[in-house]
Amino acid sequence: MTDAQMPLTVCFQDDALVVVDKPCGMLVHRSDIDAQETTFLLQTLRNQLNQSLFPVHRLDKATSGLVIFAFNRDVARTLSQAFEHGEVTKTYEAFVRGHTPQRLHIDHALRDEVDSKGRKIKNGTKREASTELRTVTSWTVPEPVDRYPEARYSHVQLQPITGRYRQLRRHVKHISHPILGDVRYGKGTHNRFIAERLGTRRLWLHASQVVFRHPLTAEPLPISSAIPDDFLRMRAWLDDVSSG
């Protein structure tokens, strides 16, 4: 059975909504950017649950983790408004290049890169964007990479305060700590080094937790996903090879 055929992991479900753990490499829904793709989270989950679904938000194709769908339009509208008003707290796990500060507030405006239909644009409007970063662990790998005699990496947690297109990936690039495996905003030498050592090619970014008020009861609803197995392997490898 292929990954696309494996049942999706449902992290929360009731009569109003469902939260699912999206695999890395799967689109949430059809997009002009990846017109050749034939497998989508929306369709796969709809078939698995045998229910109509209404998307609330999305993740990049390369990002894994929590995605929320509603079972009716009213709930979808309420949840979408909560996202727009900054009433949803999202936490992401990421492995990045370099040793990051223990805590950092990133305030850096970003230009629109796509229009409302996901089509690429040039010289888009510049919009306010901010992200909170917290370092979990940092490592030094005593192997030469690029022009340096050793490699430095960190496991960070990221919380986007705003919701701009590819905000986290662009913000950590801005502070010179790009996410490992990021073919657009990262560094190829480090991406290849990690892929060769781990035997895994992916964007090392995972949406691990979401907290919002339930659209019907208004009660706080914290939902978490399990840390992916490849993230656990990455941590174990870094612990093993790190010089401290």
Residue 117 phi, psi dihedral angles, 5° rounding: -100, 10
Token pair 């929306």 is found at: 42
Question: Which pLDDT value is given to residue 1?
Answer: 38
Cα gap 168→159, rounded to integer Å:
8
Cα gap 53→59, rounded to integer Å:
16
Q: Are 180 and 145 in contact (CB under 8 A)?
A: no
Determine whether 118 is exposed, middle or buried from the number of CB atoms within 10 Å of its CB (0-12, 13-18, 19+).
Answer: middle
The mean pLDDT value of the chain amounts to 92
Q: Does residue 146 carry a catalytic annotation? A: no
Is it the case that residue 61 has pLDDT exceeding 70?
yes
> Which CATH number do you get for residue 121?
3.30.2350.10
For the ranges 25-29, 71-75, 120-124, 227-231, the lowest mean pLDDT is seen at 120-124
Is it the case that residue 230 has pLDDT exceeding 50?
yes
Is it the case that residue 103 has pLDDT exceeding 60?
yes
pTM for the structure as a whole = 0.92
Question: Which pLDDT value is given to residue 35?
Answer: 53
Question: Which pLDDT value is given to residue 32?
Answer: 54
Cα torsion angle, 177, 34, 24, 127, sign? positive
pLDDT band for 112, please (50, 70, 90 cuts): confident
Question: Which pLDDT value is given to residue 165?
Answer: 87
Is it the case that residue 114 has pLDDT exceeding 90?
no
Cα gap 218→5, rounded to integer Å:
35
Range of the domain at 75: 3-241
% of the chain beyond a pLDDT of 70 = 91
Tell me how many domains the chain contains. Answer: 1
Cα gap 37→28, rounded to integer Å:
11
pLDDT tens digits for range 146-173 = 889 999 999 999 999 999 989 999 999 9
Burial of 142-155, coded b for 16+ CB within 10 Å and e otherwise, reads eeebeeeeebbbbb
> Which one from 60, 112, 115, 240 is the annotated catalytic residue?
60
Burial of 4-37, coded b for 16+ CB within 10 Å and e otherwise, reads eeeebeebbeeebbbbbbbbbbbbbeebeeeeee
% of the chain beyond a pLDDT of 90 = 83
Determine whether 169 is exposed, middle or buried from the number of CB atoms within 10 Å of its CB (0-12, 13-18, 19+).
Answer: buried
- Cβ-based neighbours of 50, under 8 Å, separated by 6 or more: none
Question: Which pLDDT value is given to residue 86?
Answer: 93
What is the DSSP secondary structure assignment for residue 14, as one 8-state letter? -
Question: Which pLDDT value is given to residue 2?
Answer: 41
The mean pLDDT of 83-111, rounded to a whole number, is 97
